[in-house]
Structure 1
Amino acid sequence: MARSDIRRSAPQPRGGKPSKPRPGGWRLFFRRLFVWSFSLALIGVLSLAVAVGLAAQSLPGYDQLKASQNEQMIVVRARDGTQIVSLGPSYGKWLPSGQIPQVMKDAILSTEDRRYYSHIGVDPVGIARSFYVRYRDGRFRQGGSTITQQLARTVFLNNSRTFARKVREAVLALAIEWKFSKDQILELYLNKVYFGGGAYGVDSAARKFFGHPGDNLSLPEAAIIAGLVKAPSHYAPTADAAAAVGRAQVVLGLMEENGKVAPSAARAVDFKAIKFAQEGGQNAVRYFTDWALPQLDMLLGDNTRPIEVWTTLDIRLQNTAAAAIRNNAPAGAQGALVSMDRDGAVLAMVGGTDYVTSNYNRAINAVRQPGSAWKLFVYLAALEAGYTPATEVVDEPVTIQGWSPQNSGGGFAGKIDVRTAFAYSKNTVAAQLGNEVGFSSVASMARRFGITTPISTVPSMVLGSNEVRVIDMTRAFAAVSARGRSVEPYGIIKVTTTDGELLYQHETKGSTQLVPENVANGITDLLQSAVAIGTGQAAQIGRPVAGKTGTTSSNKDGWFLGFSSGITTGVWMGRDDNRPVNGLQGGHAPARAFAAYMRVAVAGRPVEKFQTEMVAPAWQLSADDQGQFSGSPDEYYYVDENGNLIEPPGTSATSRRQTPPGDEPAAGPDDADRNGLEPVDAPPAASDDFLDKATGRDSGDGAPPN
């Protein structure tokens, strides 16, 4: 049998199809690389989605983001609403998207994120372009951050350049885009981004740099603001106006390139016509704000919201007061002034000749000897004890506990009345009165009227050896102007949020009668005489003025304090090192500064005649009244070191005599016909010849020394 060739073949699969050969080598490597890469990418995407989702859930709501800010802003306004200073970052008014000018949106998008409406929070094209520029130029010339990323960095992160921060920034940007609409994000950005000069947001920038709100920006103004984002400290008009305009021209070119402005409109822009807002000088008001703003902690408690503080300050009077001190203070001397309205509202406060040179507030913090201005309390105590302006006293040498006071000039007038002794500031008479009524009674009177510094009761205290503050002395004279009623100085009228929510409103409290009205009338008589015929003649302003000079030994301190037409003003001058000032007397430079200020302060107010008639002399008071208005300091009202009125034990609020402020006499029908001038009708208590001899002044000489 013949042998046949039999071809062997591989076994066939049941389907009849041949099996594929298994891949090997590079094909297997790339297949596995693809699988692993795809898996890792999928895991990365899922992880990113989870991270973004969690971040989106943890993000605050839109209203919370609108209200959030890094630091508190305080806008301080004068009594007429004028902004006088802004402390901390300024956020301006929140502008909803519909109120932000389209030209502002176009400028910022052209400059910072031209593909804003096409990306999801992170712009890969922008990132790639920034790396290309880095490769081409050797350094990064433009960033790849989107507006959403910038918003995430502004609100939630810092400006560190670490990789971890950039990753968190990207995740937050994606989460923000997930949670909010594009218009909402742009609105948040334009109201929160920093534009330099302390201004956050479009409205704040517009107000700071151009002096108007941000809802009516012009094309060149929008270009300037948009250009500030890149380098706020460098391009801010307050730092370099030329640099700001140069950067704005670049922004205008980008807007033209992106079709947001026509070439003809871009060429027509005249940046030279832009008027930048001038920064107002704050030198004149900072003494006041340094005093008033710390009170917010007590008035508001814990508050971090941006607020507006409406104060009692009158800008016109503040500037007048600063000029009065600056123009009248002797060379090398400082000056301070406090001026109050009849209800205690502080209209002006000057703590020195120049805040920039020295921010030490001498009106509030300095304690100086008041000299003869302290006699206010000596004579108040004497009038309360039964003396009247017409009571006869003797100006003669006197020694009390080994102390022998001397009059200015060294002479003695003999028998005179209380009015003359006060007008010419007779030291010997003040010493006798203080000794008679008791030095503790004088101290008690000073406490009642608002002196918060320590008071010694040695005999020399009647001549002002105790140190006092300008604001306390001014408060005391204001209480006399209020016919013996207490006056509490205040500087804040109300506090609101920037959205208008009222947080605090000043309420005028009922005042306490410190001395009977007839005593207040009597001391007003004496104070008026001091200006009319005595040491304070330089303080005359053409209408009734009541006041008192004060000069310390060796002319170290000069004072004048007084009131007219419901305004009380205190002036002090001297050196910080307590060295003598040549020629400084209360009746000279301080009185002249008082007059220069008060002529402006009372202009437009009705002329008011003083109540000086003592209809019920103190010695005619009933036994009950005597008990009410005399005694030791512990038995009467006084003011503590914080300026608070303290009642004696057992005294209730209902037992006090309370009278609302503002009941001072109004002008009569003839007052207006005198063009605001009213001659002072307070005749001297003795003939001119006698007074010339008693005070040592020659005929035709000026005011006698204090």
Structure 2
Amino acid sequence: MGSRRIGYAVFDLAVVGVLAALAVVCYVHIAGEAIAGRQMDKLHVGSNSIIVDREGHVIATMAVTDIGYREEAALSEMPKLLLDAFVATEDRRFYTHTGIDWIGILRSIRSNVMENRLSQGGSSITQQLARTVYLTNRKSFIRKLNEAGIAMALEKRFSKQQLLELYLNHIYFGRQQVGVKSAARRYFGISDLHQLQLWQIATLAAIPKAPSRYNPVDDYVKSKERRKVVLDLMHEQGLISQRQLLEAEAVDYVPPQPSSRSNRYAAYTDYVVREAVQLTGIAQDDLLTGGYTIVTGLDQSHQQTAEAAFADKRRFPKDGKDQIVQGSAVILDHRTGEIRAIVGGRDYTAGDYNRATRSSRQPGSAFKPIIVYGPALESGKFKANTIVPDKKTAYQSYRPENGGDRYRGAVTIAEAIRLSINSPAVWVLNQVGLASAIQFAGSLGVELDDQEASLAMALGGLHQGVSPLTMAQAYGAFANNGALVNAHAIRMIKDSHGRVIYEHPMTAKQVMSQGTAAAMTAMLRSVVETGTGKQAKLNGRWAAGKTGTTQLGLDGVTKKANRDLWFVGYTSELTAAVWMGFDQSNRDNYMRETSGIAARMFAAIMNGSR
């Protein structure tokens, strides 16, 4: 009786076991088909987009932080020995199994039992592809079932050659390199995979087992040891000769010179990405990894000159108690609107707050040409030699003051600009009218809302403020004979097939008469020659521009305490705006220097930008 009960129990357990196995098999097939079928788009590889300068030189290869750099390669771009090396190392029965290498799994189980630890995985190339594309590396029984199911589903949908191509394009090679082509470029400086030598192929095939340990940059010794393992496997399987093995084993690795992937000119490239997203509507991650070519107006000589000038701390005011004096600059070609250089801040790194394009600061007297004298000249009621009052005047509760409390009684508009006198500017704005002045500023790309409509605008007293990029664009219209070309970094965007998906329209809008622009340029040239902007003088060529200073304006702090220092100016070809100040000005962080120091920075930048 007892033996019968035992027999029944064994039978019941066997039935349960069979049912459980059938359930697992059903789950594997159903889940695998569902996951793979629902998310087929994940198999799209793509390549990192690149940014090129105005001469066509690559200045940056873009990457998503959690993905890295990737370049898609077709199977035809991969030499047979490269394919053989990965198959020999990762999955020697790849061409015969249907997604799961049962022999490899049984061998790995035996090894794990003998070593009493989980040291062998037994995953096929197809399973590794499934895990990389659809799953995570977190070890669990369900994940292994999903991995197996997806692998079998992929085997039904793709040929072995297609699977191998997908694998070699998706696998991670350490150092933010995804795909064999990206890895070859990073570790060997090689973009044509057919130029890879045997030792390089073996080095690449060695990496996927432990990318951070076996890549040659992070640990050359371990990389070389693992390379030997790969070469031994290739020799064992008859892929290479003993002589080839020994020669490839002996080569020492020498890292290549840094490439354009170091993403130079971070402030400029950050702005390019933002602009590209706005222009195309493509999501940022898709834009960065879609294989796009973004052609810009960057001039590397201008950018390098500007960055070198900003790297010299002697060109800046004294730092505050707990902050450094910041600064930013923009250089653009006012004839085309193309931005030639951007400095987003001192020691700017990728992703920082870009003070040149996003920061809104009060422009001080640098705003006078835009909001006062430009609209005054354009109205036809004022000329450079028009005499205007320079005396203390109250406009209801607003009582502007001249620097040094000095009043001359009357001056010409040209003299008021040259010496940056406040009282005449407010008087002229009052005569022109706030609505007309705001409309004129808007035509230059300086959008002002209703809360800005006060006479304080004459002295750059704004609630929202303006960026250096906005100021440079506005002054560019004066430089360009009254025609405004919208400032932009991007000339053209091409997709991964070379098709143009965006091209900047080369259009200019006449926003003022040529006479107004010429008169303004003549007056702004006098500012540099004999006025407040003398420190902006250039070597061997003329410059026009305007200084701007805003005071800290806190009770109990010296009246010489300043918040913002500006110089905006131009030559016949380029317009530039320079700003200096603290990110957060307060009693402990302010500047005693005047805008002459910003004018000197303008000269340092422009003297090297021809």
- 2:532 corresponds, among 531, 535, 539, to 535
Secondary structure of the 1:272 match is coil
- Answer 1 or 2: which has greater helix percent: 2
Q: How does 1:114-513 map to 2 (within 5 A)?
A: 114-215=92-193, 216-237=195-216, 239-269=218-248, 270-278=250-258, 285-301=265-281, 304=286, 306-308=290-292, 309-327=294-312, 328-332=315-319, 333-342=325-334, 343-356=336-349, 359-377=352-370, 378-385=372-379, 386-393=381-388, 395-401=390-396, 403-413=398-408, 416-454=411-449, 456-466=452-462, 467-508=465-506, 510-513=507-510
Q: Is the 8 A contact 1:373 1:561 kept in 2?
A: yes
Deviations 1:212-243 (A, max 9, x none): 31522222322222222112234345544554
CA distance change for structure 1 residues 387 and 238 in 2, over 3 Å: closer, same or farther?
Answer: farther
Partner amino acid for 1:514? V
Q: Is the 8 A contact 1:453 1:468 kept in 2?
A: no
CA distance change for structure 1 residues 243 and 77 in 2, over 3 Å: closer, same or farther?
Answer: farther
Partner amino acid for 1:227? A
Secondary structure of the 2:252 match is helix
Secondary structure of the 1:116 match is coil
Deviations 1:332-381 (A, max 9, x none): 21001122222222222222112249922222332222111011131112
1:591 aligns with 2:595: no
- 2:53 corresponds, among 71, 78, 85, to 78
CA RMSD of aligned residues (A): 3.7
* Range with greater deviation from structure 2 (142-151 or 518-527): 142-151
Q: CA deviation at 1:47?
A: 11
CA distance change for structure 1 residues 521 and 209 in 2, over 3 Å: closer, same or farther?
Answer: same
Q: Is the 8 A contact 1:283 1:354 kept in 2?
A: no
Q: Is the 8 A contact 2:418 2:527 kept in 1?
A: yes
Q: Is the 8 A contact 2:217 2:255 kept in 1?
A: no
Cα distance in 1 for residues equivalent to 2:519 and 2:134: 67
Secondary structure of the 1:593 match is helix
Deviations 1:132-162 (A, max 9, x none): 2212222233321111221232334433433
Cα distance in 2 for residues equivalent to 1:56 and 1:447: 58
Cα distance in 1 for residues equivalent to 2:290 and 2:448: 36
Cα distance in 2 for residues equivalent to 1:417 and 1:291: 41
Deviations 1:467-493 (A, max 9, x none): 322222111101111222223122233
Secondary structure of the 1:196 match is coil
Q: Is the 8 A contact 1:210 1:277 kept in 2?
A: no
Cα distance in 1 for residues equivalent to 2:227 and 2:21: 42
Q: CA deviation at 1:522?
A: 0.7
Cα distance in 1 for residues equivalent to 2:499 and 2:135: 30
Cα distance in 1 for residues equivalent to 2:429 and 2:126: 76
Cα distance in 2 for residues equivalent to 1:176 and 1:456: 62
Q: TM-score, normalised by structure 2?
A: 0.82
Partner amino acid for 2:607? R
Cα distance in 1 for residues equivalent to 2:415 and 2:251: 70
Cα distance in 2 for residues equivalent to 1:362 and 1:56: 50
Partner amino acid for 2:520? I
Cα distance in 1 for residues equivalent to 2:43 and 2:153: 19
Cα distance in 1 for residues equivalent to 2:263 and 2:74: 35
Deviations 1:20-59 (A, max 9, x none): xxxxx99xx9xx99xx99xx79x98999799869978996
Q: TM-score, normalised by structure 1?
A: 0.71
Cα distance in 1 for residues equivalent to 2:129 and 2:298: 39
Cα distance in 2 for residues equivalent to 1:52 and 1:405: 80
Secondary structure of the 1:189 match is helix
Cα distance in 2 for residues equivalent to 1:565 and 1:399: 40
Cα distance in 1 for residues equivalent to 2:75 and 2:42: 12
Secondary structure of the 1:558 match is strand
Secondary structure of the 1:278 match is coil
Q: CA deviation at 1:559?
A: 0.4
Aligned position for 1:654: none
Aligned position for 1:108: 86
Q: CA deviation at 1:130?
A: 1.2
Q: CA deviation at 1:193?
A: 1.5
Cα distance in 2 for residues equivalent to 1:391 and 1:173: 83
1:565 aligns with 2:572: yes
Secondary structure of the 1:353 match is coil
- 1:546 corresponds, among 528, 544, 550, to 544
Q: CA deviation at 1:319?
A: 2.9
- 1:519 corresponds, among 516, 519, 522, to 516
CA distance change for structure 1 residues 45 and 548 in 2, over 3 Å: closer, same or farther?
Answer: same
Q: CA deviation at 1:178?
A: 4.5
Unaligned runs of 5+ in 2: 320-324, 552-560
Deviations 1:564-599 (A, max 9, x none): 132211010011122464442222x21122122222
Cα distance in 2 for residues equivalent to 1:46 and 1:534: 88
Q: CA deviation at 1:396?
A: 4.7
Aligned position for 1:635: none
Cα distance in 2 for residues equivalent to 1:92 and 1:54: 29
Secondary structure of the 2:208 match is coil
Secondary structure of the 1:173 match is helix
Partner amino acid for 1:316? S
Cα distance in 1 for residues equivalent to 2:256 and 2:234: 22
Q: Is the 8 A contact 2:389 2:427 kept in 1?
A: no
Cα distance in 2 for residues equivalent to 1:465 and 1:169: 63
Q: Is the 8 A contact 1:209 1:237 kept in 2?
A: yes
Taking only the aligned residue pairs, the percentage that are identical comes to: 34
CA distance change for structure 1 residues 242 and 361 in 2, over 3 Å: closer, same or farther?
Answer: farther
Q: Is the 8 A contact 1:283 1:355 kept in 2?
A: no
* Range with greater deviation from structure 2 (572-581 or 82-91): 82-91
Secondary structure of the 1:117 match is coil
CA distance change for structure 1 residues 48 and 400 in 2, over 3 Å: closer, same or farther?
Answer: closer
- 1:555 corresponds, among 554, 559, 562, to 562
Partner amino acid for 1:516? S
* Range with greater deviation from structure 2 (496-505 or 529-538): 496-505
CA distance change for structure 1 residues 478 and 238 in 2, over 3 Å: closer, same or farther?
Answer: farther
Q: Is the 8 A contact 1:91 1:203 kept in 2?
A: no
CA distance change for structure 1 residues 468 and 175 in 2, over 3 Å: closer, same or farther?
Answer: closer
User: Bigger radius of gyration, 1 or 2?
Assistant: 1
CA distance change for structure 1 residues 326 and 347 in 2, over 3 Å: closer, same or farther?
Answer: same
